[in-house]
Structure 1
Amino acid sequence: MRGCRLDALFPPRVLGFMAWGVLATQAGCAPLPEPEQDDLGRATAAITSGNILFVGNSFTHGNEEPAYSYNKAAVTDTNGSGQGGIPGIFKKLTTQAGFAFNVSLETASGQSLRWHHTNKAAIIGQATWNAVVLQEQSTTPLPTARGGSPTSFTDAARDLRTLVRAANPSANLFLYETWSSPASAGTQGYPSGTAGLQAMQIDLRDAYFKAFRDLGFTGVARVGDGFMRAVDQNLADPNPADGISPGMFNLWSAQDSRHSSKYGSYLSAAVLFAKVTQADPRTLATGAGSAAADLGISAADAANLHRVAYEINALADPVVSVPTRLRITGATFSGSVTAGTPANLTGDAQLASLTTSEGTFTNLVGATANGITSTNTPSARGMVPANANAAATGLSAHDGANNVNTGHFQFGSAFTAKTRFFILDSTPTSTALGDDATVTLVNASNQAVGMYSLALLASDFTVSAAGNASTALATVSYTSGVASLTGNPVGTVQSKLGGVSFSLADLGVTDAANVSGATGLRISSATLDPNVVGLYTVP
């Protein structure tokens, strides 16, 4: 079956409390995905009828034909502009599925949610709306460093939620996550190509899901994530400027590479259809008289867009990671070590354990270093390292690549949310522990993965004031290398070790699946002496 009318079989209140999958089976409908669970364990209930209002700008009403005026006679444009857009496509999809929605749109080109709250409260705040979909201006949710204003976004979303719920306490409110685009990514300072699209989309997704959780919305329609999924699956060309690759389509407008094309508009409506109704978009018709056919989208392309919409809606909500940048407060070493407070490394020594506020960990893995650009000779206690890379390799704690400048530290395996990276840094006892450094995720080819980076501060490392080694992780007197660290005679100047640990969350990663290609870290610093770089896993 292409669709079925469950509202004709069960009262709306029953639909709101019973599992869609059970009802669909009893009614003889095609199998549908299980309701998505949010972080509070609540299922997103299926909505298959009622009055639904779409609030947004040209990312909702469409920017060009055939989407702009599509199905306008079947929807209500509350501003009288004669627009159909994505709400018009949504209406047609729900009609195809046998659902009964009264679809309205309140849209204004280029405007933000704050503008709608200020100027259109009389429309949005009507008690008639059973569901309201809010779409923010496309760059407002981005971080301020990318030209956005996330506080403005959340404040306006909060006020609109309050407005809608004051009129109808049972209204469902959805956030419509918009998409990154080749034009916007460049304008907002993201890198070119797919990496920039991904980085921008992650920022948008994080903002929408933060608002969803913080403000208590019903759900997020992950339209922008759908765009990226189509790119990742080689359905959509990520760089339309150089022509559309054979077998691909363009999700963005050929006019500006920012607004949606008919393909992007159709995918947007399909994702919204799946999220609001919880019905399986893969069952939607693609032949004559369908929305896809009306828009000039082939059955094959429509089927792929339906599948992408299904897959995006079936995903669990992204995990919100908690930053875990922590000072290392304790360490143990094996090998040539003299016990004391702190321990003194007198020769070949290996790092055996680390302690942070999360616990003590012995499952340490040392990185393999390469590409270190330091021009300083590595210092050593014992055998002199062959080069700077060797000085920073493995868990050997007696060596130091002095002033790393830039180096790559590879682990060769994927990371998870439970991965904790660590850096042990050596500093003369005459100074405070720690050095500023920038850490970036890299792949096996030492290329940056997205825009994930962390600015470590000297204050993030183990606390140890100048002239005081008592709280350091260990002390070491180097026997060769840089004169200022070894002294005259060699080995008479003592240094101390401190450290910091951090996670993917500290690098800005909210879902480890997004960085599956990352295998290492790039560390850049004019002063950092990374004796050991490694990782461990928390339970």
Structure 2
Amino acid sequence: MRRSPIEVTLLGLMTWSLLSISVGCSALAATEEDGALDDSSIAIAGGTILFVGNSFTHGHEEPAYSYNKAAVTDTNGSGVGGIPGIFKKLTVQAGLSFNVSVETASGQTLGWHASNRAAIIGQPTWTTVILQEQSTTPLPTARGGAPTAFTDAARTLRALVLSKNPAANLFLYETWASPTGVGTQGYPSGTSGLQAMQTDLRDSYFKASRDLGFTGVARVGEGFLRAVDQGLADPNPADGISPGMFNLWSAQDNRHSSKYGSYLSAAVLFARVTQDDPRSLATGAGSAADELGISATDAGNLHRIAHEITTQAEPPVGGGPTRLPATRATFTGAVTAGTPAVLTGVAQLASLTTAEGTFTQLVGATAQGITGGNTPSAVGTAPANANVAASGLGIHDGANNVGTGHFQFGTAFTAKTRFFIVDSTTTSTTLGDSVTVTLVNASNQPVGGYSLALLASDFTPSAAGTTSTALATVSYTSGVGSITGTPPGTVQSKLGAVSFSLTDLGVSDVTSVSAATGLRLSSATLDPNIVGLYSVP
């Protein structure tokens, strides 16, 4: 087969010069330019390749588990083929020559492999090594992960490989979110939870790759999510597979990969390592797809997804999430200065400060269709309804316990857009409420599967019984009795906020969400005073 190199478009390196910034943002600190490599020219046509991982690499069930095992070397003698076996077959179909080896152990972390399999991984024969971490370890600690352990193990194994062969290429194998995983790790159910979990995995893998100097990341998990977003894979197999869709996850546990998921994994790895176009791979008799029982139509779609996800622009240089707690705010109107400021009547949010700077060019959203069990609260005249209470930049009122609400901006979003939510709670409780945020269009319909699960801990930190770090305090005089007190105005509330970006929502290609004009907020506890946006320089 004629080789057709994939054209990989990387976002340019971005240098923030925060010492001189246009009106609307005053810098807090300058940052250094990220030294990430542009690896778009690296195409590996052969050599000895070692896959290191667990059951997300060797496969969980047949036909993937033992597929093509005679053509790969299982260094542990377990007799597995798995995703490396499928990868090997794809390279043969492409006319490439790879010697493929597998070093896997079910349920183990990269740290375990570093401690117990260094003699195998540290052989000078490997020209390419692919490392797959245990499925939840790269997640934030609040989601049950151990990201520092992931980074430390990746660093150790990279150093080990390069000490034996300095010319070796090393890739990180980004794993996938799953219906079972979102439940066990505390994410929302459904597609929004898959998106939120995958965003955390993606951020962690790319940060490790850039910080440690890996050759790159094989974006397998994002391939899974793209198949869901495009209506090819069923996001909730537990209630049955929808007609015309397939299941990426094992029917046994909805966590490991099925034959479809294993095939997609191998196709993404093939595209990333070789830089060949997987859309040219055969699907007929004798092909890997045919031998696994995958139809030509499904295989063609999986090839296309592998191509799309591999050629997709990488997350912004600097990596990691941009969701940041607000540390300061200023207000206009009926405000009494202090630390924190006290809102005594009708007031407007004038500026918001995060680690990225202080921003004054704020745009407040117009609320639509807010549902919730509680009456809105306000200082002064009570808002007419929940939509009025959570519209614009009026900080003096807010919706209590918003079940669901749509917040429309009527403007195009860019990579520099920062959304924010100002939340309130009584002084006696800890500030912050968990909420799921989803991109919507002008008709309030979700745009793809772009969602983010914000935790209460993402907001301005403020412990129960104290206001010292709050953005402001306010005593509502109308609304819910537990919020206003008896008589009204005797219970004090405090304000906090969080900012986040399209990157946090899982968007790496802004044009793919050109129809997005607003946000949907879903929570049982969120008390939003303002939903707004601003732009960073």
Fold conserved between structures, TM > 0.5: yes
- 1:438 maps to amino acid: D
Conserved in 1, the CA contact under 8 Å of 2:336 and 2:344?
Answer: no
Q: Secondary structure at the match of 1:159?
A: helix
Q: Does 1:223 align with 2:220?
A: yes
1:148 alignment counterpart: 145
Q: Secondary structure at the match of 1:330?
A: strand
Alpha-carbon distance between aligned partners in 2 of 1:244 and 1:475, rounded to the nearest angstrom:
50
Match of 2:202 among 205, 209, 226: 205
1:394 alignment counterpart: 392
- Structure of higher CA gyration radius: 1
| Identical counterparts, % of pairs | 53
What are the superposed Cα offsets for residues 135-169 of structure 1, whole Å, 9 maximum, x if unpaired? 12222223334333322222211111111011111
Conserved in 2, the CA contact under 8 Å of 1:33 and 1:280?
Answer: no
Match of 1:412 among 398, 408, 413: 408
Seen in structure 2, the aligned counterparts of structure 1 residues 86 and 351 have a Cα distance that, compared at 3 Å, is same
- 2:146 maps to amino acid: S
Alpha-carbon distance between aligned partners in 1 of 2:144 and 2:208, rounded to the nearest angstrom:
18
Match of 1:503 among 499, 503, 521: 499
Seen in structure 2, the aligned counterparts of structure 1 residues 352 and 90 have a Cα distance that, compared at 3 Å, is closer
Conserved in 1, the CA contact under 8 Å of 2:8 and 2:313?
Answer: no
- Measured after TM superposition, the shift of residue 76 of structure 1 is 1.7
Alpha-carbon distance between aligned partners in 2 of 1:106 and 1:296, rounded to the nearest angstrom:
26
Alpha-carbon distance between aligned partners in 1 of 2:145 and 2:351, rounded to the nearest angstrom:
39
- Measured after TM superposition, the shift of residue 486 of structure 1 is 12
- Measured after TM superposition, the shift of residue 114 of structure 1 is 1.8
Alpha-carbon distance between aligned partners in 2 of 1:536 and 1:385, rounded to the nearest angstrom:
25
Seen in structure 2, the aligned counterparts of structure 1 residues 307 and 147 have a Cα distance that, compared at 3 Å, is same
Conserved in 2, the CA contact under 8 Å of 1:331 and 1:355?
Answer: no
Seen in structure 2, the aligned counterparts of structure 1 residues 251 and 375 have a Cα distance that, compared at 3 Å, is closer
2:326 alignment counterpart: 326
Match of 1:178 among 171, 175, 178: 175
Q: Secondary structure at the match of 1:297?
A: coil
What are the superposed Cα offsets for residues 169-189 of structure 1, whole Å, 9 maximum, x if unpaired? 121111111222233333334
What are the superposed Cα offsets for residues 378-402 of structure 1, whole Å, 9 maximum, x if unpaired? 431xx554456545543446x535x
Alpha-carbon distance between aligned partners in 2 of 1:106 and 1:90, rounded to the nearest angstrom:
15
Conserved in 2, the CA contact under 8 Å of 1:199 and 1:451?
Answer: yes
Q: Secondary structure at the match of 1:451?
A: strand
Question: Any gaps of 5 or more consecutive residues in structure 1?
Answer: 5-29
Match of 2:155 among 155, 158, 164: 158
Question: Any gaps of 5 or more consecutive residues in structure 2?
Answer: 14-35
- Measured after TM superposition, the shift of residue 202 of structure 1 is 2.4
In the alignment of these two chains, the number of paired residues is: 491
Q: Does 1:32 align with 2:6?
A: yes
- Measured after TM superposition, the shift of residue 436 of structure 1 is 1.8
Seen in structure 2, the aligned counterparts of structure 1 residues 190 and 315 have a Cα distance that, compared at 3 Å, is same
Seen in structure 2, the aligned counterparts of structure 1 residues 166 and 363 have a Cα distance that, compared at 3 Å, is same
2:110 alignment counterpart: 113
Alpha-carbon distance between aligned partners in 1 of 2:406 and 2:228, rounded to the nearest angstrom:
28
- Measured after TM superposition, the shift of residue 424 of structure 1 is 8.6
Q: Secondary structure at the match of 1:503?
A: strand
- Measured after TM superposition, the shift of residue 303 of structure 1 is 0.8
Seen in structure 2, the aligned counterparts of structure 1 residues 43 and 35 have a Cα distance that, compared at 3 Å, is farther
Q: Secondary structure at the match of 2:314?
A: coil
Q: Does 1:88 align with 2:90?
A: no
Conserved in 1, the CA contact under 8 Å of 2:349 and 2:394?
Answer: no
Seen in structure 2, the aligned counterparts of structure 1 residues 75 and 394 have a Cα distance that, compared at 3 Å, is closer
Q: Secondary structure at the match of 1:437?
A: coil
Seen in structure 2, the aligned counterparts of structure 1 residues 32 and 499 have a Cα distance that, compared at 3 Å, is same
- Measured after TM superposition, the shift of residue 61 of structure 1 is 1.8
Alpha-carbon distance between aligned partners in 1 of 2:520 and 2:379, rounded to the nearest angstrom:
24
Normalised to the residue count of structure 2, the TM-score between the two structures is 0.76
Alpha-carbon distance between aligned partners in 2 of 1:42 and 1:53, rounded to the nearest angstrom:
23
1:26 alignment counterpart: none
Seen in structure 2, the aligned counterparts of structure 1 residues 98 and 345 have a Cα distance that, compared at 3 Å, is closer
2:435 alignment counterpart: 440
- Measured after TM superposition, the shift of residue 422 of structure 1 is 5.4
Alpha-carbon distance between aligned partners in 2 of 1:110 and 1:486, rounded to the nearest angstrom:
52
Seen in structure 2, the aligned counterparts of structure 1 residues 284 and 464 have a Cα distance that, compared at 3 Å, is closer
Q: Secondary structure at the match of 1:73?
A: helix
Alpha-carbon distance between aligned partners in 1 of 2:77 and 2:473, rounded to the nearest angstrom:
73
- 2:535 maps to amino acid: T
Match of 1:69 among 36, 51, 66: 66
1:538 alignment counterpart: 536
- Measured after TM superposition, the shift of residue 441 of structure 1 is 4.0
Seen in structure 2, the aligned counterparts of structure 1 residues 505 and 439 have a Cα distance that, compared at 3 Å, is farther
Alpha-carbon distance between aligned partners in 1 of 2:7 and 2:184, rounded to the nearest angstrom:
38
- Measured after TM superposition, the shift of residue 271 of structure 1 is 0.5
1:43 alignment counterpart: 39
Alpha-carbon distance between aligned partners in 1 of 2:480 and 2:80, rounded to the nearest angstrom:
73
